[in-house]
């Protein structure tokens, strides 16, 4: 009977040849891919994810007040989370929360106002520019009833006097809106005509209460 070859010699013989060793599994191993999956390192795996829409909620909130101002007095379509869509004329955009205030004009009605919260906005598309008649119509909606008792000259005088008083007290203030009717205080609070405590708006309740108190004292001094 012929003796069996020694297993150790057989293995060492193959290991002396690198090409054979790899073929027997001693070198790089062949990777298995799941059905439908791209091989590791392939172009498909390295491709970036979907590009975010320009109008998604993060981008919308990052816009500056000057960017938001370009949407005022325009008919827009707003796409929000869960594919909710809103259409209307932009009255204003809150500079703190990026919330859009929309006005619609159903038949035989003066107009209604709705709000789309800034954090929910994914895309805003401009559908139509507002003409002079529409701008006046929107201005009548946004103007409080109290301000309608004042002439434009009186409102301008009240605005300038309040602005000067705020600046004298070292409170940063500016004007915003197409006609500069709205006062913006430190970028966190707005004051609409006729510039009383009730016309103050801010997402920060502490700042809102404090400025309303200051404004109330200022108006009492003017009497």
Please write the tens of the pLDDT for every residue from 50-98: 333 444 445 898 898 889 989 999 999 999 988 899 999 998 888 888 8
Q: For 129-169, where are the alpha helices, taking DSSP H only?
A: 132-142, 152-168
Tokens for 179?
């006609």
CA distance 190 to 218: 17
Q: Could you report the average pLDDT of every consecutive run of 10 residues in the chain (223 residues)?
A: 46 42 44 49 42 52 89 93 91 87 80 87 92 82 61 88 93 85 90 88 87 89 79
pLDDT at residue number 164: 94
CA distance 104 to 127: 14
pLDDT at residue number 86: 94
Tokens for 208?
């809102």
pLDDT at residue number 83: 86
| Closest listed residue to residue 183, CA positions, set 211, 209, 219 | 211
Asked if 143 and 193 touch (Cβ cutoff 8 Å), the reply is yes
Determine how many CB atoms are found less than 10 A away from the CB of residue 197. Answer: 17
Radius of gyration of the chain (CA): 33
Task: Classify the C-alpha dihedral 132-138-139-145 as positive or negative.
Answer: positive
Residue 141's SS3 state is: helix
Place of tokens 């404004």: 215
Residues 6 or more apart from 71 whose CB is under 8 A from it? 90, 93, 100, 124, 126
pLDDT at residue number 149: 67
CA distance 150 to 195: 11
Determine how many CB atoms are found less than 10 A away from the CB of residue 215. Answer: 21
- Could you tell me the pTM of the whole model? 0.44
CA distance 172 to 77: 34
pLDDT at residue number 87: 94
Tokens for 23?
């073929």
The edge-to-edge listing of strands for the beta sheet with 182-185 is 173-176, 182-185, 189-191, 200-201
């Amino acid at each position: 009977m012929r003796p069996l070859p020694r297993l150790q010699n057989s293995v060492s013989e193959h290991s002396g040849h690198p090409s054979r060793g790899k073929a027997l599994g001693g070198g790089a191993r062949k990777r298995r891919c799941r059905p439908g999956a791209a091989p590791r390192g392939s172009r498909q795996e390295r491709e970036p994810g979907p590009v975010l829409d320009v109008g998604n909620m993060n981008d919308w909130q990052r816009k500056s007040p000057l960017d938001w101002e370009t949407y005022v007095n325009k008919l827009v379509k707003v796409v929000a989370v869960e594919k909710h869509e809103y259409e209307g004329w932009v009255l204003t955009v809150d500079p703190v929360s990026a919330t859009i205030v929309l006005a619609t004009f159903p038949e035989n009605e003066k107009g209604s106002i709705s709000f789309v919260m800034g954090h929910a906005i994914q895309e805003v598309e401009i559908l139509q520019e507002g003409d002079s008649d529409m701008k006046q119509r929107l201005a009548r909606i946004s103007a409080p009833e109290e301000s309608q008792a004042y002439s434009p000259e009186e409102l301008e005088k009240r605005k300038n006097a309040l602005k000067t008083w705020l600046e004298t007290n070292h409170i940063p203030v500016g004007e915003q809106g197409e006609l500069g009717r709205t006062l913006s205080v430190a970028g966190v609070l707005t004051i609409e005509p006729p510039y009383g405590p009730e016309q103050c708006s801010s997402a920060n309740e502490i700042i809102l209460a404090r400025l309303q108190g200051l404004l109330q004292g200022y108006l009492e001094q003017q009497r």
